[in-house]
Amino acid sequence: MYLSREEEMMWNGEFGDIIERAIKAVVRYGELMGADRLVKISHAHVSGISIFNIGDAGLSFIEDVAEGNARFRVYTTANPYAAVDTTFEGRAFNDVIVAKQRRIIESLRKLGATAFTCAPYYVRRPGLGEHLAWAESNAVLYANSVVGAMTNREGGPIALLEALIGRAPNYGMHLRDRRVPDYIVNVPKPSNYVEAAVIGYLIGRLNPTQTPLVRGVPKGIPEDWVRAMLAGFGASSHQPLMLIDGISPDLKHLKCLIPESLERVSLEERNIREFIKDHECSTADLLVAGCPHLSPNELPEIVARAVSVIRSGKVRARECWIITGDFVSDSMLKRVGALGDSRVKILKNVCPVVTRLNEIGVNSVCTDSAKALHYMPKLAGVNAYLLTSLR
């Protein structure tokens, strides 16, 4: 692989041992993926920071890196961490887990992580054509498909190493000619947030290893519906890009290059309705909204609706957790919190999906997120259902 003068210096240890090891690992990974060189990135996003997911081995890896002199070379954000500081009806996580999760957060802060959210595009929105090294599927999909930035769907540890050297291997989504559709899927017009999330999820299930060109998404669809659709798609597919007619900037250059012979498939309204019917429920221990993290624009309305849904008994739940990131100001939190009910908690910077909720007495969750629905049984140890009355 071609290395610039500065990259050679990193390779030869002139920036220290950690950077030398980081560039050697990233180059090895790049060679396996067929990259010809490294590309400079402007923003890295690290995932995989829940103590429940990465365990002691992941904690040692992050602490070892942070104990050296190396620091992130580019603007870096990280995924939300496990909600170990939160209680459920007064039940708390054990102190050992809480302490380990805090050590992970502290090490990442020491390395230079500026925020802990799965919506880094609300913290720093990348520019068109900007090269990134993002891990976290919904963020990767949002960056590529909505913003027109360029990032592969990195793994958590690799994104951390890429943050240290400010480079990513030049392959896949960093190459314009790889950002093309493999097939066309026509979708029905979603009539709410949950339907948009389910459409994304079902597209991913159609063909998890190919890039769709999605047609039928109406102009002017709310931004959070698009986010929900991409998050759902990311849960059931491995792809880093969904090209959406009328939304994805790449399509402006591609239009005339898309062959008419591309395979076409359709999702029907009944597919969406049946999926929702099979998964919805109105009774659970816990309601969860904010997977991915809610934007400041949505938060007040979702909190107000959650309070109303719980008070009216329309959904029977013991608590409701509404999740967002640090991009929501304390004054807004205070204002929104005042709408509340003690059963409705607004949590920042955490991910309930990567939290072993069964350890604090939660057995079932109702959520408006197709992504949470997919992952929670395995990662959170709970039964998960769709919540349709919040949106």
Which residues of the chain form contacts with ligand F3S (CB under 6 A)?
79-80, 118, 138, 231, 291-293, 323, 351, 353-354, 371-372, 375
Number of residues in the chain: 391
Least distance (Å) between residue 219 CB and ligand F3S: 26
Q: How far is the CB of 134 from ligand F3S (least distance, A)?
A: 12
**Which of 18, 139 has the CB closer to ligand F3S?**
139
The CA distance from 194 to 280, in Å, is 11
CA–CA gap between residue 177 and residue 241 (Å, rounded): 13
Between 317 and 351, CB nearer to ligand F3S? 351
Question: Which of 179, 177, 123, 124 has the alpha carbon at shortest distance from 151?
Answer: 179
Smallest separation, CB 110 to ligand F3S (Å): 22
The torsion angles phi and psi of 240, rounded to 5 degrees, stand at: -95, 0
Could you give the count of Cα atoms lying within 13 Å of 63 in the half-sphere of its Cβ? 13
Q: With contact defined as beta carbons under 8 Å apart, do 62 and 102 qualify?
A: no
Minimum distance from CB of 82 to ligand F3S (Å)?
A: 10
- Rank residues 139 and 168 by Cβ distance to ligand F3S and give the closer one: 139
Least separation, in Å, of the C-beta of 127 and ligand F3S?
23
Nearer to ligand F3S, 353 or 390 (CB): 353
Please state the closest distance from residue 209 (CB atom) to ligand F3S, in A: 21
CA-CA distances (angstroms) from residue 362 to 94, 106, 282, 359?
A: 15, 28, 16, 7
Residue 309's region, left for phi above 0, alpha for psi from -120 to 50, else beta, is alpha
Of 244 and 354, which has the nearer Cβ to ligand F3S? 354
Burial environment of residue 242 by CB neighbours within 10 A (0 to 12, 13 to 18, 19 or more) = buried
Toward ligand F3S, which CB reaches closer, 39 or 376?
A: 376
